[in-house]
Structure 1
Amino acid sequence: MKYGILFIVFLFFAIIHSQAQNYYWIGFTDKNNSEYSLSAPEDYLSERAIERRTKQNIPIDSLDLPVNQSYIDSVLTLDVTFFHASKWLNGITVVTDSLRLDTLIGNWSFVNEIQLSKPSSFSTKSAKNKFADEIEVLYDEIDSAYYGGSVHQISMLDGQFLHQQNIKGQGIQIAVLDGGFYNADVNPAFDSLWINQQILGTKDVVDLNSDFFSTNYHGMSVLSCMGGNIPGELIGTAPKASYWLIRSEDTGSEYIVEEDHWVVAAEFADSVGADIINSSLGYSEFDDPTTDHTYADMDGKTTRVTRAANIAASRGMLVFTSAGNERDDPWKRIVAPSDGDLVIGVGAVDKDLNPAFFTSAGPASDGDIKPNVSAMGYRTTLQLSNGVVGLASGTSFSSPVMAGMAACLWQYFPEKTALEIKDALEQSGSMAFTPDSLVGYGIPNMRTASMLLNPFSVPVYEKQNNWQVYPNPVNNYVVLQNKGTFSGKEIAIGLYSITGQIIQQWTKPGAQKIVLSDLPDLSNGMFVLKVNDGEKSETFKLNKSY
């Protein structure tokens, strides 16, 4: 297929002869007279990428077309070297000795943006280590001996509900965008991934000549949160999913070019057919302060990396990104691209479900709920760079914990769209009715999410419920009776359709007995009632009859 040839051609031209050069982003106005056609997407997308769009009724559009080659060729007549191209944002990155590329290009009609994205002479004295503070030496029953230290990060999501049905991510492809995958080819945590051919490929967007598995450790640790498999020590949230390992981050400095690397990496993930992107990366401040973002930029649609992340999600992928570790820093807020309107930004909690002290605060600057959801990111069990299983902290790890669990959920409901899976994760959250700026919609529950996606997919075990709901079938009212010692907290109640749409919500004062006498006028059928007392969320099937 031509898409493979296209990547090879780009790789050939992307060989850089000098590291001490200026990187420029050049944006183009259009894709007129493209040699590619919307009617022949197999020329630039894999069969799996096309199937993902078809399955979710997503049309192939101009964003999918590669950058106009004639525009690229025109730029290459200058003293520049091609580095990579972004079809989604319609531009290229080049390297050159010139400090004023804009004067060379002048007023070319097809160029609408020129930005120095990384200078040849730079200092990292102001660079922030976005991986700082990260490394340190139950509704269904869960086998703690099997899960080892990872038992908390699985059980708080009720991930065992899916795992116990052997739903562990089979058939789902996850692209991991990160800063490096040190020793991921030899570490025992990933033996089963290699033996079962679950590592689908690698790509280095930053340095085409790198020794891929000798780069930074961070992506390796992230991968272990999803794909790690050492029974008794570490079990990832999606140990049977398949993975693309993509290095998009230059950990030696922090310039706006990192966002352009990310965009190209996400486009590659889309083109090969990945279902999910996990990106434990985020951007706010840079070594060149003139390119720093502001909180106003965190509006879900402004930065280049956020725009691309939204496009990735619009192609039918689930996009998970770390919300950031900034709350105890002057920045404090979420970082791009977790602000994206279609992106799932993930915050961090500890094993007691409390927000981690470092997890970045939302909301997005346009008021949208951010982070979207949260998972265990404080003292998460994972593979360390020294070859042992240990603990680490950061939203870098809560994001893959959540992404892997979502892979299992999507495997369980393969007919659902990415947007439907995203909605189920949020609506199953522990704070779904009272989202806040630290944990968003809270900690998703896989049993509840499954019931929201299909109420008939989940058996209800009455012995595990604190609440009894009657009469059922229901007509004009519902009674909720607490069967234990009631804490007296405020109760959030929601009524859903079988497709997961919210029909009505109530907030009731805490009481041993609650009567819902104001049920909406519903037709006969099956509905879902969710009860959240602030400590536990329970879900019930209701049969409505006259």
Structure 2
Amino acid sequence: MAQQRYWVIFKDKPAAGPGPLVSAAALEKRRLQNLPPAQPSDQPVHPAYLDSLAQKGFTVTSVSKWLNAAVVAANPAQVKSLEQSSFVRELKPITGYFTPTQTSTPYKPQYVSKALTQLKPEAILAAGLTGRGVKVGVIDAGFFEAPKKAGLQPIFENGRLKAFRDFVTPALSQTYHKRETYMDSHGTDVLLCLAGSDPKARVLSGFASEADFYLARTDQSNRESRVEEEYFVRALEWMDSLGVQLVNSSLGYGTGFDKPEENYRPEQMDGSSYIARAVQMAVEQKGMMLVIAAGNDGSNKKWQVVNTPADAAGVLTVGATDYSTWSKQGYSSIGPTFLPYLKPDVVCFAASGTSFSAPVITGLAACLLEANPALSPQQLTSIIQKSSHLYPFGNNYVGYGVPDAGKALELALGLATPNVVNAMIRVTGKTFSFMTSAVSGIQENGGIVLYRKASPTRVIHQQKLSSRLKKIVVKRLPGETHTTMQVGPKVMELVWQ
């Protein structure tokens, strides 16, 4: 009989023994955020339960103390036997697969500086913020030849690479010169967007050039194996044990598994997957901020929505814009309309995938944490949202829009409160007109874009107009209830009556 992989969820845990179960760095992170220093999820799973699985003939491939679970492969008869075991609470099949959120277009580092420019980095640079002292984790597909990249050499030469663990091929941990698949450079390119700085060429491609880094390889792209879900959870727990405060990942589950019947369905992107539960626990219980790429299925009519764990509550999900209009790139995944919260959260420019927009925002978050280490993940996420150009009129195409690094820094330091200059206008009738002559800086701030919506957040049509227009006439579409008008730096929310 065919076997399938399952999370075996145990019914309880043994009582905690003496002494702390996590590192001093993890305890200090919790202290700063007023989180409980001792948490049940820190306790290891019961060894007797693992022994029982072994006695029943199962090979345990992964163990998660957070989820109080182990992973085994079982056929239907074995599943029935496990469900009747006194130590098992429930079994959950593992479905879906990991795929890096990249497109066929090769990554070109020169595009990344455009993303930094879009975020208006002057205040961050003037303050000398570089993420210094912030512990940043990157969970990705591989970091092939990362030490050879000019923009990353300072990280390795100055001892800011603190740990690297390969969960796919453990023997390759701390090894950067062996490549197993063509995607093993993906993490290297992500790291450049997060922390790249080439002093000789004076090129800055990431905000967090002086952060401390913890790298994990959890994806092997020449196979679509569900075991990578386990690797991700293990990597997250490993990073928490080392006191990592901020995690970037450009990986996600979706469709395309070798066995189509085991793919996720779009309606399952509701934050309920086990990987989504783990990242939500990291945010809410462990004080870790997670920044996740939205995915590149925006043009896939059979999918379109964000992958998991980008669907999880509490994580900062990042989509991609074009550079001239700040509107959604065609490939950038949209947020499911059935979620009770908005996805994506924010966006920034990336030419070839949301894999390369998410780390730009992670770098900004590292600088904000350097400026104010006591910020909780919830506070940090809120700050980045409130600094974004469409706030508070977010939508499921671009979230709250493009963050302004200067505004975010002021909010992080408590020097300002959110100054919502964007206006709501109630419109009677079927047309609305606006003269653009009174607005300056239109081209430099995203041009003119209309988000035509069937609810406050659900976009039915994204419309880009010439930034040279002197007058905008908006004619209400059938089913349209709200329209967000971006006229450069001025944003108006039309509410049709």
Quick check: TM above 0.5? yes
From the superposition, tell whether residues 339 and 158 of structure 1 become closer, same or farther in structure 2 (CA, over 3 Å). Answer: same
- State the Cα deviation string for residues 370-390 of structure 1 (Å, max 9, x = none): 100111222xxxxxxxxxxxx
Instruction: Describe how 1:456-467 pairs up with structure 2 within 5 A.
Output: 456=415
CA displacement, residues 164-223 of structure 1 (integer Å, 9 cap, x when unaligned): 221010011111001111111333332100111110101122222336422411111111
Are residue 222 (structure 1) and residue 209 (structure 2) matched? no
Aligned position for 1:377: 350
Q: Which residue of 1 aligns with 2:51?
A: 73
Query: Could you say which residue in structure 1 is the equivalent of 2:6?
Result: 25
Q: Structure 2: how far apart are the matches of 1:113 and 1:100?
A: 15
Please give the per-residue CA displacement for 1:462-489, whole angstroms capped at 9, x wherever unaligned. Answer: xxxx99xxxxxxxxxxxxxx98659899
Conservation of the 8 A alpha-carbon contact between 1:297 and 1:365? no
Query: TM-score of the superposition, structure 1-length normalised?
Result: 0.71
- Residue 79 of structure 2: aligned partner: 102
Q: Does residue 390 of structure 2 align to residue 435 of structure 1?
A: no
1:535 alignment counterpart: 488
Q: Find out whether 1:398 has 2:360 as its counterpart.
A: no
Inter-partner Cα distance in structure 1 for 2:412 and 2:370: 12
Q: Partner amino acid for 1:91?
A: A
Match of 1:93 in 2: 71
2:251: which partner in 1? 281
Tell me the CA shift for residue 312 of structure 1: 0.9
- State the Cα deviation string for residues 39-60 of structure 1 (Å, max 9, x = none): 73x2x31111111111111113
- The CA deviation at 1:95 is 6.1
Q: Structure 2-normalised TM-score? A: 0.77
Q: How far, CA to CA, are the matches of 1:202 and 1:192 in structure 2? A: 16
- Provide structure 1 residue ranges, at least 5 long, that are not aligned to the other structure: 1-20, 138-146, 379-392, 461-465, 468-481, 491-531, 539-546
Q: Please give the per-residue CA displacement for 1:65-108, whole angstroms capped at 9, x wherever unaligned.
A: 22111111111223343322111111112468x78542564611
Distance 1:276 1:289 in 2: 34
Larger radius of gyration: 1
Measured in 1, the distance between the counterparts of 2:355 and 2:165 equals 20
Residue by residue, what CA displacement relative to the aligned partner does 1:204-254 show, whole Å, maximum 9, x if unpaired? Answer: 222223364224111111111112122334431211111101011121222
Alpha carbons of structure 1 residues 81 and 453: separation in structure 2 relative to 1, 3 Å:
same
Change (3 A) 1:26 1:100: farther
Cα distance in 1, alignment partners of residues 3 and 246 from structure 2: 33
Structure 2: runs of 5+ lacking an equivalent? 423-436, 450-484, 492-497
The 3 A distance-change label for structure 1 pair 68 and 404 is same
Structure-1 residue corresponding to 2:103:
132
Quote the sequence identity (%): 27
**CA shift in 2, pair 1:74/1:537, >3 Å:** farther
The answer for the alignment partner of 1:359 in structure 2 is 332
Counterpart residue number, 1:236: 206
Amino acid at match of 2:319: G
For residue 178 of structure 1, what is the aligned residue in structure 2?
Answer: 140
Q: Counterparts of 1:486 and 1:51 in 2: how far apart (Å)?
A: 45
Distance change in 2, residues 1:398/1:103 (3 Å): same
The structure showing larger relative contact order (alpha-carbon pairs under 8 Å, at least 6 residues apart) is: 2
Are residues 323 and 410 of structure 1, via their aligned partners in 2, closer, same or farther at CA, if it must alter by over 3 Å? same
| Conservation of the 8 A alpha-carbon contact between 2:13 and 2:43 | no
SS in 2 for 1:161: helix
**Is 1:408 aligned with 2:367?**
yes
| Structure 1 residue 350 displacement after superposition | 2.0
Considering only aligned residues, what root-mean-square deviation do their CA atoms show, in Å? 3.3
In the alignment, the residues of structure 1 paired with residue 438 and residue 86 of structure 2 have an alpha-carbon distance, to the nearest angstrom, of 72
Q: Distance in 1 between matches of 2:151 and 2:193?
A: 10
Other structure's SS at 2:252 match: coil
State the shift of 1:131 in Å. Answer: 3.1
AA at the equivalent of 1:373: V
Number of residue-to-residue matches in the alignment:
424
Which residue of 1 is the match for residue 265 of structure 2? Answer: 294
Contact 1:27 1:89 in 2 (8 A): no
